Amino acid sequence: MPSRNIGYDCLSCPIRAQQHFCDLSLSTLEDLNKIKCRASYPLGAKLFHEGQPPVGVFVLCAGMAKLSTSSSNGRTIITRIARSGEVLGLNATISGRPYGVSAEMMEPGQANFIPRPSLLRLMRDHTDAAVGVGEQLSAVYYTAHDEVRTLGLTTSPAERLAKLLLSWTTNARQYEGGDDSLPVKLTLNHEEIGQTIGATRQTVTRLLSEFRRRQLLQLRKSVLCVQDRPALEKISGLTFGQLQKLFDSPKN
């Protein structure tokens, strides 16, 4: 069981104003504080499992979590990485359908659990809470749309990997400030990256080595630094044949 000896409070949360769901009026936050269950979670803790009946949502206050789905033959795809401020399990909780993914902490962090009946009551009683839920659902929809486009319309693992690396640097810029050269700590290993882009671990290792050989990026002790963003952007838009020619040619 997670420890409950933590200090975050919704009324004094430093990132509240930056998040759709958490940017609520004082009266709504007071009611939210009454219904939530605060807890800290260690690395690897499962917040909920795919197929489990929805018991409520988890508002991620600190840390990151990976959301994944698995097939009957054991193949796993990581659908996205959730960061602080996101509400996990929202689709299932609102619809009453089983969780469509599993949520696992990628680092020690904190989440506020809100039971399903309490969340629905909060939405009925407070318009801004309902609007915040709608905005979160919209953001999840567009994220899922981008993932489907990346997996379904790209023709090669190299293109998908380039898109993923570019998205990580963009997210780092948005959350931490700075520019696209900001170092990014990789929280996924090669197998997990493969699960994100629909490729094998061996393919990911080979492509990262090729990107490093061509001086597109540096990767030292799980810290990524993009050296040539325009080149990665070019790879993310090339056809399979063009990529083959590019990788077969020596680095200029």
Digit-coded pLDDT (tens) for 79-119: 888 888 889 999 999 999 999 999 999 999 999 999 999 99
Specify the number of domains making up the chain: 2
What is the pLDDT, as a whole number, of residue 190? Answer: 92
pLDDT in tens, 145-155: 676 666 666 66
d(CA 163, CA 235): 9
State the CATH number of the domain containing residue 86.
2.60.120.10
Q: How far is CA 198 from CA 52, 81, 109, 121, in A?
A: 25, 15, 27, 39
Cα atoms in the Cβ-side hemisphere of radius 13 Å centred on 58? 28
Q: In this structure, are residues 61 and 33 in contact, taking their beta carbons and an 8 Å threshold?
A: no
Q: What is the mean pLDDT of residues 158-163?
A: 88
Best CA proximity match to 68, nearest among 97, 47, 41: 47
Residue after which a domain boundary falls, among 111, 146, 181: 146
Best CA proximity match to 63, nearest among 8, 134, 118, 115: 8
What DSSP assignment string belongs to 91-118?
Answer: HHHHHTPPPSSEEEESSSEEEEEEEHHH
Q: What is the mean pLDDT of residues 59-77?
A: 87
Same domain, 64 and 86: yes
Q: What is the mean pLDDT of residues 39-57?
A: 96
Residue after which a domain boundary falls, among 97, 125, 146: 146
d(CA 247, CA 157): 13
Same domain, 202 and 133: no
Q: How remote is the C-alpha of 115 from its chain's centroid?
A: 22
d(CA 8, CA 10): 7
Q: How remote is the C-alpha of 20 from its chain's centroid?
A: 16
Q: What is the pTM of this model?
A: 0.72
**For residue 61, which phi and psi values (nearest 5 degrees)?**
-90, -35
Q: In this structure, are residues 184 and 224 in contact, taking their beta carbons and an 8 Å threshold?
A: yes
Same domain, 166 and 114: no
Question: In which band, very low, low, confident or very high, does the pLDDT at 249 lie, cut at 50, 70 and 90?
Answer: low
pLDDT in tens, 191-234: 999 988 888 999 999 999 999 999 999 888 888 888 888 888 88
What is the pLDDT, as a whole number, of residue 6? Answer: 44
Q: Which residue has the higher pLDDT, 18 or 53?
A: 53
Same domain, 87 and 204: no
**For residue 224, which phi and psi values (nearest 5 degrees)?**
-100, 135
d(CA 234, CA 227): 14
Same domain, 142 and 167: no
Domain span at residue 202?
154-248
pLDDT at 65 over 90: yes
